[in-house]
Amino acid sequence: MSAQPGLSLGELAVRFGCILKGDPDLRVSRVAALENADAASVAFVANPRYRRYLQQTKAGVVVLDPKLADACPTNALLAKNPYAMYARIAALLYPPPAAPPGRHATAVVDDSAQIDPSASIGPHAVIGARVKIGARTVIGPGCVIMDDVTIGNDTRLTANVTLCQGVIIGDRCLLHPSAVIGADGFGLAPDQGEWLKVPQVGTVRVGNDVEIGASTTIDRGAIDDTVIGDGVKMDNQIQIGHNVRIGDHTAIAGCAGISGSAVIGKRCMIGGMVGIAGHLSICDDVIVTGKSFVSGSIRKPGYYSSGMPVDETTRFRKNAARFQHLDEFVREVRRERGAAADPDAAPEESD
């Protein structure tokens, strides 16, 4: 991805409403880390651990908190949220690659599809019957859009994305390579030692401004639809089961797995490799740290964690073995405390 021609610091300050400390006529054309930046680069400081690079940076401008203005040896754009401001500037300097409107000669498009003339259909894409594709939407190479799919305006499917039958995608979405939306959910009914496939007759409805990472899969609903709210951001290799509902502006990191019929609220943050059991609910504004397992509903906003951090193997094995006796140990302590308080009390019964 290449940067745009240079923009002046004055332009950036006015466009994004930040305070400029320095030369408004200096032009920048790219982004870089503090330690590698040059006079044409934009850098930023958001994490305190990187402040050690600030004094030596040769960046043309640094985006940082106003509290650090005096510590910056070069031009500075002052913002209360430096990371978000840097993201906006980077998006301006590195826009998505332009895609020409129209259909590539190798694309296969059903005659009944309704495609806005400004949309772009890339090489070897397949567009099924009764598909609707909105204005300025880009269907990248190798994408498969099955029958009755609807895609809104300004959405981009980068490459090899599959949208199964009846899926609905909103406006301004971004789907990364090999994402699969609307495959059958894992619906199986046991019968005399065998499994019967349960038809998955719902679909997937994805809101506006959603980003779905590479090789992420979102299953269609068994009866009702799987629903992804507006502004949801998903990392790579995430599994979303059938009938899951995810609230607006929730973010989910890589390799998380969400079982069927779970309901996740708005503005939640789900860490990498988190496992969420099915048929539970998580309220708004919950943060679940990486590798946690959520086995029950969460009804109060806040931070939640589980799992054991890495340890030296011998000690980990000893602690793991002792963990198996934790309930027995607690009961023994209770019995001893009860006997000390009341020598005549009966011993506690087991569950």
Active-site residues, by number, are: 242
C-alpha separations of 325 from 153, 216, 322, 329 in Å: 58, 39, 5, 6
289: left (phi over 0), alpha (psi -120 to 50) or beta: beta
Query: CA dihedral in degrees (91, 60, 2, 208; nearest 10)?
Result: 0
Which residues make beta-bridge pairs with 169?
151, 206
What does the DSSP 8-state code read for residue 137?
-
Question: How far apart (Å, rounded) are the C-alpha atoms in residues 106 and 109?
Answer: 10
Backbone angles phi, psi at 112, to 5 degrees: -85, -5
Contact 118, 138 (CB under 8 A): no
Neighbours of 305 (CB within 10 A): 13
Give the dihedral sign, CA 245/292/183/267.
positive
Pairing of strands 174-175, 102-103: unpaired
Question: How far apart (Å, rounded) are the C-alpha atoms in residues 73 and 37?
Answer: 13
